[in-house]
Structure 1
Amino acid sequence: MTTTVGTSPRTVEAVPTLRAARDAVLKDVEQVVTTLLEDERARWKGDAPQALSLIDGIADLVAAGGKRLRPAFCVSGFLAGGGSADAPGLADLAAALEMLHVFALIHDDVIDAADTRRGRPALHVAQARKHSAAGWRGASERFGENAAILAGDLALVYADRLVAGACAPVREEWAVLCSEMIVGQFLDVSVAAEYNADPEMSRWVAVCKSGRYSIHRPLHIGALLAGRTDLGASFEAYGRALGEAFQLRDDLIDAFGDGEMSGKPTGLDFEQHKMTLLLALAIQRDERVRALVLPRSGGIDRADADELRSLLIDSGVRAEVESRIDRLVAEALDALERAPLDDAWRQELSAMAYEVAYRSR
């Protein structure tokens, strides 16, 4: 695998045997999710066929793909901790993390008024169109949002069901993960409303909203399932740094990426006046950015988005965020060096770090 760190290409090879073992478990994860949704569809088909639109909406989002990042880190944490790939409960736990992610994506699209997700209409958009086409009463947009909120809630119920049989330490970590993610999402909304250009607050929101729930907690949950409490500190240091790098890459993809490649609209952070670290640094550093964005009560419209992108480049902020990602990856790899892990798993988790931090979608 070849990646680009700043302007210097680097190559980090994954460990084929470890990746093959993890991928085999991830296939089981897909089957767990598929079976759960099929069973739920059969359960409601006779008594409440209207409910199928919620279940099918969840299923469509799962089928549309995605990186399966959280299940991959969970399984990796378990296998790196010495667990067996055929251990009971592993696939269920990893599937719960993907279902939790589905819950977050569905609600996030409502919050951000995003039109697409994974190259398809967002669930609230699809439900609004269904309402409009059927000529039902009430506002179509409102119906779509209501349906999406409830579909997200249902995905969360499914996630909790999949975790129910896990050991107490895993369930406790799961509760922490869920609460951090939801509080982080609210902080994201609150900071956007306040429009407070505080880079440290923006960094904290990134870590809380996405970093911990994407990498640190899934890794730790996997290790806890394997009974390896001694990996907690190392996985926290690795996951904290890599999770922040993950969110910073998301910010850059939103600002400068290709919507066709990412499967979701770009520029939404500007439009939704999100105070990302990228924008917070630019506001503090460049008068031109302040003059463009601060007088507005709402977000940046598409006409001014190109100008803002140019300013982010001219001010050096884009390059600074890239450099920060480099430093965070180095910090994550340093944590691996101190971790009580086999060398093969250090190499594999290093490869995963590069994939996460230098992805294009």
Structure 2
Amino acid sequence: MTTAVDTLRRTAEPVPALRAARGAVLKDVEQAVATLLEGERARWKADAPQALPLIGGIADLVAAGGKRLRPAFCVSGFLAAGGSAGEPGLVDLAAALEMLHVFALIHDDVIDEADTRRGRPALHIAQARAHGAAGWRGDSARFGESAAILAGDLALTYADQLLAGAAAPVREEWSRLCSEMIVGQFLDVSVAAEYNADPEVSRWVAVCKSGRYSIHRPLHIGALLAGRTDLEAGFEAYGRALGEAFQLRDDLIDAFGDAETAGKPTGLDFAQHKMTLLLALAVQRDERVRALVLPRSGGTDGADADELRALLIDSGVRAEVEARVDHLVAEAIGALEHAPLDDAWRQELSAMAYEVAYRSR
């Protein structure tokens, strides 16, 4: 049966010329990050070679790949706003967004106690193993976490360094983006600790933690670099809907995905009882889920992941969240209809919405 989303998907094919233009800039972004890290290696090599594993950990995470989602939306926002690909500040802005993401990933892996990232040992795990192999004093796990916290802070410093010459409107948007992302991360942890199973709270955390940081703000900051303020409303509506869809897909990948395909451990949300929208809906919907995960209902911290997955399917929550993703994609695309954009960019951003919302990693 053909759905409305299937129909929309057929009308949102990528625009090759725009993809090529964005891809050329993103290659320069990769080079800018590599050059920055190579320069930092050279800077510290003679005076403090002990610092090299810190910089190397950041470089390894960057080299391991990733979606480069935030730089892609930043460059798209800039080009869609009529900016020239030769703008000198564009590459640095997009590179700063990737370094900010590196900061978030390194810290997130410590918070989530994740062992791998992008198919490789997480930075805190790699540093803990190096500590143990060297026979150094102290606790290896604690050393690894300390190194990861500092590596994340260093990545954030590099991001700010890349933005040093940006104009005031770009810096202001950058500050909003950073603060929202960090507050969203805390709320994610806090809601899990509280066992707050309110789906509206979980939905708001998803928008704050992911929607604004991943899509809305990168698009808007790119448009601001191009000198356009009239795209804010359209980009906000698009980013809010697509950002929630992005986070819901993350939830589904964690619950039902394959760790090898995802490039990171799955099932962590269950293990830590994170109140994702997926789990919050299930807690409200199904007494069996409440009994399994909520301590006040007799549950324990040892909820069985396989049993939870089965209940999410049986209760219809998985299907409901998939339907919610479909609705959000249609909403995001609808938000572009009245935005002051060229039709080609409207089509390209629609295609990007499908890729974000229906990815497997």
Q: TM-score, normalised on structure 1? A: 0.96
1: CA distance, partners of 2:4 / 2:244: 16
Describe the superposition over 1:25-69 as per-residue Cα deviations: whole angstroms up to 9, x where unpaired.
Answer: 000000000000000000000111111111000000000000000
Describe the superposition over 1:301-349 as per-residue Cα deviations: whole angstroms up to 9, x where unpaired.
Answer: 5xx1111001001101001111111111111111100100000000000
1:148 alignment counterpart: 148
Q: State the 1:299 CA deviation.
A: 4.1
- Read off the aligned partner of 2:254 and give its amino acid letter: D
Would the aligned equivalents of 1:6 and 1:323 in 2 still touch at CA under 8 Å? no
Residues 1-361 of structure 1 mapped to structure 2, 5 A cutoff:
10-11=9-10, 12-295=12-295, 299-301=301-303, 304-361=304-361
Q: State the 1:264 CA deviation.
A: 0.3
Between stretches 291-300 and 62-71, larger displacement belongs to 291-300
Would the aligned equivalents of 1:5 and 1:358 in 2 still touch at CA under 8 Å? no
Percent identity for Structure 1 against Structure 2:
85
- Read off the aligned partner of 1:105 and give its amino acid letter: L
Secondary structure of the residue aligned to 2:88 is coil
**When the two structures are aligned, how many residues end up with a matched partner?**
357
Describe the superposition over 1:141-200 as per-residue Cα deviations: whole angstroms up to 9, x where unpaired.
Answer: 000000000000000000001111111100000000000000000001100100110101
Could you say if the C-alpha distance between residues 29 and 298 of structure 1 is closer, same or farther in structure 2, counting changes exceeding 3 Å?
Answer: farther
1: CA distance, partners of 2:283 / 2:313: 13
1: CA distance, partners of 2:81 / 2:171: 18
2: CA distance, partners of 1:19 / 1:67: 15
Describe the superposition over 1:285-313 as per-residue Cα deviations: whole angstroms up to 9, x where unpaired.
Answer: 10111111113776445xx1111001001
- Read off the aligned partner of 2:188 and give its amino acid letter: D
Q: State the 1:10 CA deviation.
A: 3.8
- Read off the aligned partner of 2:60 and give its amino acid letter: D
Point out 4+ residue stretches in structure 1 off by more than 6 angstroms: 4-9
Secondary structure of the residue aligned to 2:227 is coil
Could you say if the C-alpha distance between residues 300 and 231 of structure 1 is closer, same or farther in structure 2, counting changes exceeding 3 Å?
Answer: farther
Would the aligned equivalents of 2:9 and 2:354 in 1 still touch at CA under 8 Å? no
Would the aligned equivalents of 1:128 and 1:143 in 2 still touch at CA under 8 Å? yes
Secondary structure of the residue aligned to 2:231 is helix
Describe the superposition over 1:195-233 as per-residue Cα deviations: whole angstroms up to 9, x where unpaired.
Answer: 110101101111111111000000000000001100011
Secondary structure of the residue aligned to 1:230 is coil
Over the residues paired in the alignment, what is the CA RMSD in angstroms? 1.6
Q: TM-score, normalised on structure 2? A: 0.96
- Read off the aligned partner of 1:228 and give its amino acid letter: R
2: CA distance, partners of 1:140 / 1:198: 38
1: CA distance, partners of 2:56 / 2:301: 33
1: CA distance, partners of 2:253 / 2:40: 36
1: CA distance, partners of 2:209 / 2:148: 20
Describe the superposition over 1:227-265 as per-residue Cα deviations: whole angstroms up to 9, x where unpaired.
Answer: 110001110010011001000000000000011101001
